[in-house]
Chain A
Amino acid sequence: DAGVIQSPRHEVTEMGQEVTLRCKPISGHDYLFWYRQTMMRGLELLIYFNNNVPIDDSGMPEDRFSAKMPNASFSTLKIQPSEPRDSAVYFCASSLERQGNQPQHFGDGTRLSIL
């Protein structure tokens, strides 16, 4: 079975550039989550969607971050303009919550470095 697929796996770009991270959730899952992981702050939830609708974006650090889910099989996390402090590993996860209390399944992440 295909798991959660994220692209790119690594991204290195200069400060001020726009960065777009992509995620394909597991087929049939109705929840999608974006997390960020750093050494200092650990794993933090940024935003999550239910049936393509953003439910809680209180973890998004600031207006430079935005996320969309145009359909059930694709989501993007965009940073514009990017800053060095955005350097982190960004994970996408999905779950099938209709059955209740189901685990989230994570992709292998995008390692982002902003120079």
Chain B
Amino acid sequence: DAKTTQPPSMDCAEGRAANLPCNHSTISGNEYVYWYRQIHSQGPQYIIHGLKNNETNEMASLIITEDRKSSTLILPHATLRDTAVYYCIVRVKQNYGQNFVFGPGTRLSVLP
């Protein structure tokens, strides 16, 4: 199973871009990279996912390196409401189903 490594915590100034890194050096060719976040006392919220191309949606951008061994989630203009724990997950696809393994994540603090 591919594992991910994220810094335990990061700070970002309000209004600036937040760049959250993730290492997944053992990722397999058919495994996707997913990002979720969890705001205090809420369930994990899906942000974005990708295979090898960069992806963008209304919430964030996902940049995946060419060798796919690492990725960066970019929140272009962080707000105080983006303060949360961010999880980078490589999806482990089993023969008969699916599984998401959540690591400890990165605690992002957006500072005023």
Task: Name A residues whose Cβ lies closer than 8 Å to a Cβ of B.
Answer: 4, 31, 33, 42-43, 45, 48, 50, 55-56, 91, 93, 95, 97, 101, 103-109, 111
Cβ distance B66 to chain A, nearest Cβ, rounded Å: 20
Cβ < 8 Å to A, chain B residues 16-36: 32, 34, 36
Query: A42-B103, A107-B43 known; A56 and B49 CB under 8 Å?
Result: no
A31 near B98 with CB under 8 A, answer yes
Query: How many contacts between A and B, using CB within 8 angstroms?
Result: 51
A43 near B102 with CB under 8 A, answer yes
Query: A43-B102, A55-B96, A97-B98 known; A91 and B34 CB under 8 Å?
Result: no
B97 near A104 with CB under 8 A, answer no
Q: Closest B-chain residue to A111, C-beta based?
A: B41
Cβ distance B27 to chain A, nearest Cβ, rounded Å: 14
Write out the residue numbers on chain A whose beta carbons fall within 8 Å of the beta carbon of B98.
31, 48, 95, 97
Q: Could you list 24 examples of A-B contacts with CB < 8 Å?
A: A4-B43, A31-B97, A31-B98, A42-B103, A43-B44, A45-B99, A48-B97, A48-B98, A55-B96, A56-B97, A93-B43, A95-B98, A97-B97, A101-B32, A101-B49, A101-B51, A101-B91, A103-B34, A103-B36, A103-B49, A105-B46, A106-B43, A109-B42, A109-B43
Write out the residue numbers on chain A whose beta carbons fall within 8 Å of the beta carbon of B101.
45
Write out the residue numbers on chain B whose beta carbons fall within 8 Å of the beta carbon of A43.
44, 102
Selected contact of A106 from candidates B45, B96, B99, CB within 8 Å: B45
Write out the residue numbers on chain B whose beta carbons fall within 8 Å of the beta carbon of A107.
43
A108 near B46 with CB under 8 A, answer no
Cβ distance A26 to chain B, nearest Cβ, rounded Å: 12
Cβ distance B84 to chain A, nearest Cβ, rounded Å: 13
Write out the residue numbers on chain A whose beta carbons fall within 8 Å of the beta carbon of B41.
108, 111
Write out the residue numbers on chain A whose beta carbons fall within 8 Å of the beta carbon of B102.
42-43
Q: Closest B-chain residue to A49, C-beta based?
A: B97
Query: A31-B97, A45-B99, A101-B49 known; A106 and B104 CB under 8 Å?
Result: no
CA separation between A107 and B36, bound complex, in Å? Answer: 13
Write out the residue numbers on chain A whose beta carbons fall within 8 Å of the beta carbon of B100.
33, 45, 104
